[in-house]
A and B are shown apart, each in its own frame.
Chain A
Amino acid sequence: MKGKARLLLAAIIIPLGLIIAAVPENTTKQYKLTPEQMLEEVNGGTQFIHPDEVANMLIQKDPTLQLIDVRSADEYEKFSLPNSINIPLVDILNPQWSDYINQDLKLNVFYSNGTNDANQAWMITRQLGYQNNYVLQGGVNYWAETIMNPEAPAEGSPNEEIIKYNLRKGAGMALGGEAVNAAPATVSKSAKPPITKRKKKKAVQGGC
C-alpha cells in the first residue's frame, strides 16, 4: 500500500523532473504591459506632463525633477532646458544610462523637439518596466510657445486665461525667456506660480 503510493509519486515527479532538467531556463524578461494596456496608456496620455507643471518645478528648484533631452548632442548643445541631461534616443539602452532611467527617486521628463522621440523613449522604458518616466507635452516647440513666448490673451478673456498667461510669463522670465512685457495690471500680483506637486507613484516591491 505504502510502496504503491511511493511508486505513484515517483512515476509523476521523476518524468516532470526530467523535463524541467532538459528544457532551457526561461530567461526572457517579462514585458510589464500587454499591447492592450500599452495602447490604453498611449491613448490616455498619462505619460504627458504639461510645460506649466515642469516650469513650476524648475522655479521651485524641485530636486526630484530630472529633465532628459533625447535629441542629438548637437541640438542639445544649441538649446536645452535648464538642468537637463542629454541621452540621445539612439543611446537610450546604453547601460551607462540605466541608473538615470531605471530608478524610483526622481521624476524623469523626456523631451524632444516635438513629442515623437520623447514618446519613443518613454515607450521603451515603460516596456522595460521602469517607473517615473514621463514626457514633456508638446516638446521644446510647445515649451517655447507657452513658456518662453506666451501669447497674451485677448482683451476681455476669462480671468483664468489671464492668470495662466501671467504665470507663464513669470516662469519664462525666471527661466531666461523673452517675455518681458508688462502684465495687465489687474492681476499682476498673483504672478508667482502655485506649487502643485505631482503625486509620486509608489514603488512596488516584491517580498514577503
Chain B
Amino acid sequence: MGPLIVNEIISENANMLFAFLIGIGFGYILEANGFSSSRRLAGMFYGYDTTVLKVFFTAAVVGALGLLFLSLFGQIDLNFIYINPTYLYSAIGGGVIMGAGFILGGYCPGTSFCAASIGKIDAMAFIGGIFIGILVFTEGFPLWEEFYNAKFLGAPVLNEVIGTSRGVLTLGIILVALAMFWVGEWAEKKFARDDYTINQK
C-alpha cells in the first residue's frame, strides 16, 4: 500500500499535515534526549557524552528494520522511496563545513531550532549564522556551481555497492552500531569531565 502519497492513498495536503505532525514528534524526541544542550552535542566530539551517536544510530536501525519488514509483508514498495542523489565532492565539502560548524557552534541545524525554541540565545545566534550561510551560498552560487555539481553518482545504495542484500547490510549495521555504543560508553567513562554529568536535569 505504501508509500501513501505515491499510491494516492493520501493527498499531498494530507502528506503535509503528516509531515508537520512527524516534525513535532522529531522535535520532541530531540528535546527529550537533551539535544538542545550544546554541551551534550559537543560531547560527541570529545567523547564525554555519546548520546548523539546512540540516539541517531538507534533511530537509523529502527527505521531500516521498519522499512524492510514493511516491505517483507508487502506494505511498502521500496522502489518508490526517494533516495537523495549523491554529488561526491559537494557531499564531502558540505560534511566538513557542517562538522566544523557543529563543533564551533555546539549545534546542528535541527537542534539549534530545538534549543532556540526553549530560549537559548546562543542557538538563536547559530540560526542567524545559518541564514548568513544560506545567503552567501545562494548569492555566490555561480562561484561554486561546478564544484557543487561535480562527481554525480546517481543515487547509489551501500548494499548494491558492496554487492549484498539489504537485510545482510542492515544486520551488519546493527552489529557495528552495538559495537559503537559499547565503545561510546567506555569513552564516556574514560573522558568523563568533572563539571559535566550525563543526563543532568
Interface pair A20/B58, CB less than 8 Å apart = no
A2 touches B185 (CB 8 A): yes
Contact yes or no, B74 A13, CB < 8 A: no
Q: At the interface, is chain B mostly helix, strand, loop or mixed?
A: helix
> How many residues on the B side are at the interface (Cβ–Cβ under 8 A)?
34
A29 / chain B contacts, CB cutoff of 8 Å = 77, 79
User: Do B82 and A10 touch across chains, with their CB atoms under 8 A apart?
Assistant: no
A26-B72, A30-B74, A206-B3 are contacts. A21–B182 as well, Cβ < 8 Å?
A: no
Question: Closest 4 A-B residue pairs measured CB to CB?
Answer: A17-B171, A21-B171, A17-B174, A20-B167
Which residues of B lie under 8 Å from residue A23 when comparing CB positions? Answer: 72, 167
Residues in A neighbouring B81, C-beta threshold 8 A: 206
Tell me which residues from 1 to 53 in chain A have a Cβ below 8 Å from any Cβ of chain B.
2-3, 6, 9-10, 13-14, 16-18, 20-23, 25-26, 28-30, 32
* Contacts between chains A and B (CB distance < 8 A), count: 73
Pairs A–B under 8 Å by Cβ, sample size 11: A6-B181, A9-B58, A9-B178, A9-B181, A16-B65, A17-B167, A21-B168, A23-B167, A26-B74, A29-B77, A30-B7
A10 to B54, CA, bound (A): 12
Judging by beta carbons under 8 Å apart, are A26 and B170 in contact?
no
Q: Determine the residue in chain B with the shortest Cβ distance to A24.
A: B165
For A18, list chain B residues within 8 Å (CB): 171
Closest Cβ of chain A to B83, distance in Å, is 10
Residue B5 is within 8 A (CB to CB) of chain A in the complex: yes
Partner of A6, one of B84, B166, B175, B178: B178
In the assembled complex, which residues on chain B have CB atoms less than 8 Å from the CB atom of A195? none
Interface presence of A207 (CB below 8 A): yes
Interface size on A, residues (CB 8 A): 25
CB distance from B19 to the nearest CB of A (A): 9
- Residues of B that sit less than 8 Å from A by CB: 1, 3, 5-8, 58, 61-62, 65, 68-69, 71-74, 77, 79-82, 84, 165-168, 170-171, 174-175, 178, 181-182, 185
Question: What is the distance, in angstroms, from B53's C-beta to the closest C-beta of chain A?
Answer: 12
Give the complex CA separation of A17 and B57 in angstroms. Answer: 14
Residues of A within 8 A of B (CB): 2-3, 6, 9-10, 13-14, 16-18, 20-23, 25-26, 28-30, 32, 204-208
Q: Closest Cβ of chain A: how far from B4's Cβ, in Å?
A: 11
A6 to B7, CA, bound (A): 38
Task: Identify which of B61, B77, B80, B166 contacts A13 (C-beta below 8 A).
Answer: B61
Interface pair B165/A17, CB less than 8 Å apart = no
Q: Cβ of A22: which chain B residues have Cβ within 8 Å of it? A: 167
A206 in contact with B178 given A13-B65, A20-B167 (CB within 8 Å): no
A17 to B58, CA, bound (A): 13
| B65 with A206: CB separation less than 8 A | no
Roughly how many angstroms separate A9 CA and B71 CA in the complex, as a whole number? 23
* B72 close to A20 (CB less than 8 A): yes
Q: Which of B6, B58, B84, B175 has the most CB of A within 10 A?
A: B6
Chain B residues with CB under 8 A of A17: 61, 65, 167, 170-171, 174-175
A20–B74 contact, CB under 8 A?
Answer: no
- Contact pick for A10, options B1, B170, B178, B185, CB 8 Å: B178
Residue of B5, B84, B167 most packed against chain A (CB within 10 A): B167
Which chain A positions have C-beta within 8 A of B84? 208
Q: A14-B174, A17-B65, A17-B167 are in contact. List 5 more A-B contacts (CB 8 A).
A: A2-B185, A13-B62, A18-B171, A23-B167, A28-B74
